[in-house]
Amino acid sequence: MDAKVLIESFAEFARSKNVDRPTMIRILEDVFRAMIRKKFENDDNFDVTINADKGDLEIFRIREIVDDNSEDIWDLDKISFSDARKIEPDFEIGEEVYEKIELEEFGRRAVQMARQTLIQRIKDLEKDILFNKYEEQVGEVISAEVYQILGREILLIDGEGNELILPKGEQIPKDRFRKGDTVKAIVHKVDMMNGNPKIILSRTSPVFLERLFENEVPEVYDGLITIVKIVREPGERAKVAVESYDDRIDPVGACVGMKGSRIHAVVRELQNENIDVINYTDNLELYVSRALSPAKVSSISVNEETKRISVFLKPDQVSLAIGKGGYNIKLASRLVNFEIDVFRELSESEEEDVALIEFQDEIDAWIIEELKKTGLDTAKSVLALGKEDLLRRTELEEETIDEIFRILRQEFEQ
């Protein structure tokens, strides 16, 4: 393989990978200089000129002519007077000899190695370009096509044929994709694994929800409305705290849109995730009340030291505050960064009631938590609900419920 064929084939391959001309020349020169160092030990006194467009390569070895008896005669950048005269008979001591080195002089094997090295360098460069491209897009929404569905992840390809990964843990539980579907997600993180870029996407990240709001709500995109915090249980429920420094803008109304037009597009993309948009405030008690929406809070007690908040509600509001699966209270706690405890306001007839926590020596803590999830936090509220309703609303066994009733009834009989 001569220099022209080698350079032209490399240049064509490089152009197909969208490698710019200066980078192409630099890689070619690096590889040829590596060949020179392998054969001549040093490339300092070599001049390499490449014209990638024409496939031209010129390598010159430059050496200074010294006397045959000089001590420097063995230096790599020196040539004896007698050897110089064999190249050109009119050379004189002190002049420089420019000796052209043909590619064939490196040997067929070295040229084949150079070809493989050039291709590998482009592939490595392509990986670096891909890594840098997506590293700059971390946190941004992209669309990609599903081409393979595996047990623990979905493989997608972007418009340029690059492989992207959507792990099971970054998918919304209700997501169901088929090969060829277009998936919208954010670039979650980019890692280099064994020299290959690994691009991880996410649909469960709060940032994904934030970007969807930016796409649907111009005021958020323009910075007129700020998203203070987002907490999510992907596919189930999310709470978004927003504020605006412009008194003329209603941040909640702008995010929801006329008849919910703006938020509906976001909800559809998130597989009908229930989204509560809340007006942020520095007033903690008011913020907690809004966070527990749609429940209406009667009173609040804050303990800054323990980072716990006790919230008191009318009996019919407790289940609303806790929400289906306990998602509402869990998300509210994460939103305000306090642990929230919900208590029912007792009427005069209920004043002799006993909180379930008082039975923790007789009833396991996980059972008490299971009852609290359904809005039951006192003995009488459990007894009033009845066995059949408890079986339906909780995951407790019938024998366990019978034992709970026995313990609670015994308390009032005493």
Burial of 100 (C-beta count, 10 Å sphere; 0-12/13-18/19+): exposed
Q: Which CATH number is associated with domain 142-204? A: 2.40.50.140
Secondary structure tally for the chain: helices H, strands E: 15, 15
Task: Report pLDDT for 124.
Answer: 84
Phi-psi region of 326 (alpha: psi -120 to 50; beta: other; left: phi over 0): left
What pLDDT was estimated at residue 414? 57
Q: Which of 33-47, 266-280, 380-394 has the highest mean pLDDT?
A: 266-280
Q: How much is the pLDDT for 105? A: 79
Pairing type for strands 96-101 and 141-149 reads: unpaired
Assess contact for 84 and 97: CB atoms under 8 A: yes
Cβ contact 171:204 at 8 Å: yes
CA distances from 395 to 322, 392, 406 (A): 16, 8, 19
pLDDT in tens, 115-150: 888 888 888 888 888 898 999 999 999 999 999 999
Q: Which helix (H) or strand (E) holds 81?
A: helix 81-87
Q: Are 215 and 141 in contact (CB under 8 A)?
A: yes
Q: What pLDDT shows up at residue 384?
A: 78
Residue 411 has pLDDT above 80, yes or no: no
Q: Domain spanning 210-280 has what CATH number?
A: 3.30.300.20
Q: Which residue intervals of 160-260 are DSSP H helices? A: 206-216, 218-221, 251-256
Lowest-pLDDT range of 3-12, 140-149, 271-280, 399-408: 3-12
Q: How far is CA 15 from CA 20, 128, 234, in A?
A: 7, 16, 43
pLDDT tens for 349-379 read 555 677 888 888 888 888 888 888 777 878 8
In sequence order, which residues have a C-beta less than 8 Å from that of residue 243 and are 6 or more positions away?
225, 226, 228, 251, 279, 280, 281
Per-residue pLDDT reduced to its tens digit, 195-240: 889 999 999 999 999 999 999 999 999 999 999 999 999 999 999 9
Across the range 337-351, mean pLDDT stands at 74
**Which amino acid is it at 334?**
R
Mean pLDDT of 77-106: 85
- Quickly name the fold that domain 3-132 has: N Utilization Substance Protein A; Chain:P; domain 4 (3.30.1480)
- SS3 of 244, please? strand
Report the pLDDT value the prediction gives residue 232, as an integer from 0 to 100.
95
| Dist CA 235 CA 175 (whole Å) | 8
* pLDDT reported for residue 264: 93
pLDDT of res. 379: 83
| pLDDT tens-digit series, residues 237-259 | 999 999 998 889 999 999 998 88
User: Which residue ranges make up each domain of the chain?
Assistant: 3-132, 142-204, 210-280
CB 212 within 8 A of CB 269: yes
Which pLDDT band holds residue 268 (cuts at 50, 70, 90)?
very high
The CA distance from 264 to 257, in Å, is 9
Higher pLDDT, 179 or 349: 179
Lowest mean per-residue pLDDT among 15-24, 57-66, 96-105, 203-212: 15-24
Average pLDDT over residues 18-38: 83
Burial bucket for residue 282 (CB in 10 Å: 0-12, 13-18, 19+): exposed
